Copies of this chain bind each other. A is one copy, B any other.
Amino acid sequence: MHDRPVRHPTIKDVALVAGVSPSTVGRVIGGYGYTSAESQQRVLAAMRQLGYEPNAVARSLKSKRTRTIGYLLPRVTNPFFAQIAEGLQDVASAHGYSVILCSTDMKMERTSEFGRVLLEHRVDGIVLSLPGDDSVFKLAASFTDRGLPVVVCHGSRRIHGVDRVISDHMHGGYLAAKHLINMGHERIGVLAVKGSTTSSLILDGCRKALKDAGVDFPAQLTVEIASFSEDAGCSGARVLLMRGCDPTAIIASNDLIALGALGVLEEAGLNVPADMSVIGFDNTFAAHTRPRLTTIGISTYQAGLIAAQLLLDRIEDNYRGEAREVVLPVELVVRGSVAPPRRGS
């Protein structure tokens, strides 16, 4: 049981068993140069016999490529990011790359610490899903300065020279508002996260839809909340209800916020959707609430796939051009949280 000192067989061990030189073994493994069928067989047999596993560390040292990418994200427990991670990882492992997970918990010192570690590990590239404050720009710069490819996936705003995958949040906002307008709503409250680019895009979309329909959109109907959390959704909904602007529908900046709003509405004795319609955003929790949330579907998994693809393009040097920007379409997912407003309300 206490069998710690197990040495991994090396290329030399294989060579010894096969009765050839390490160079020959290297050639068989690397598949370059000339090797006789005879030697090849003996090397392969020796590898099997010893259970040889090539040492990726030594390999990386020599080749200067680790076949490893880092993923920096706020929290894995948020399904939005977990889905991106899943997409990333699927493409990465299909190309023989591994993913190092860095769940920063939004703490700046942890984030830069992770940055340092990834740099020391000499990852071949980095995907960022972090909200875009100044510190992220500095972080990204610390990577690009060293020639490391970086792709931003659903975080931050544009970073100079960095590829980016986002969703068409503005159109999402438009679709949500349009849907409500079509149902007959005219006073639509929006729960927007303060300082979030995403939220302001959603707002822009809503505004456009309302303007197109000739519906008024007083400032009172927008509530700024602190974060993309259920708690923030609760307080936001409470504020909205108390303002007396009497909305008949609410658009939340993500499903978690909508979830908080649903709770508050329930407490207030309001039935969803009869008394109040609610639309979520991102389709993470929407299918699990009661009533099920009508929401805007974001292709997070897809975004992860594409982000990985862009990154690998850069890493394997298949693309060296200007920064690219991929904008993914969003869709309205109709469930049970929207109905026409009560007449006479």
Contacts and interface: CB of A to CB of B under 8 A. Distances in A.
Interface of A: 1-6, 8, 53-58, 60-61, 66, 68, 71, 75-77, 79, 82-83, 85-86, 89, 93, 96, 98-103, 110, 113-114, 116-117, 119-122, 145-147, 161, 259, 262, 266, 285, 288-291, 317, 320, 322
Nearest to A262: B290
Contacts of A161: 1
A189 to B, nearest CB: 20
B60 A85 contact: no
> Which of A116, A285, A290 has the most B CB atoms < 10 Å from its CB?
A290
A285 to B, nearest CB: 5
Contacts of A322: 1
A57 B121 contact: yes
B285 A288 contact: yes
B75 A86 contact: yes
B4 A147 contact: yes
Contacts of A8: 122, 146
A6 B86 contact: no
12 contacts: A1-B161, A4-B147, A5-B147, A53-B120, A57-B122, A76-B85, A77-B79, A77-B82, A89-B101, A98-B121, A101-B101, A289-B290
Nearest to A119: B53
Contacts of A6: 145-147
A82 B89 CA distance: 14
Contacts of A61: 55, 57-58, 61
Contact of A76 (B1, B76, B117): B76
Contacts of A1: 161, 322
A326 to B, nearest CB: 19
Contact of A66 (B57, B119, B317): B57
Contact of A98 (B56, B83, B117): B117
B86 A56 contact: no
A158 B110 CA distance: 35
A137 to B, nearest CB: 17
Contacts of A262: 290
Top 4 A-B residue pairs of the complex, sorted by shortest distance between their CB atoms: A290-B290, A6-B147, A56-B120, A101-B101
A282 to B, nearest CB: 13
B56 A121 contact: yes
A54 to B, nearest CB: 6
Contacts of A83: 77
A85 B66 contact: no
Given A2-B320, A58-B61, A68-B100, 9 more contacts: A53-B120, A57-B60, A57-B122, A76-B86, A76-B89, A77-B82, A89-B101, A93-B102, A98-B117
Contact of A288 (B75, B113, B145, B288): B288
B290 A55 contact: no
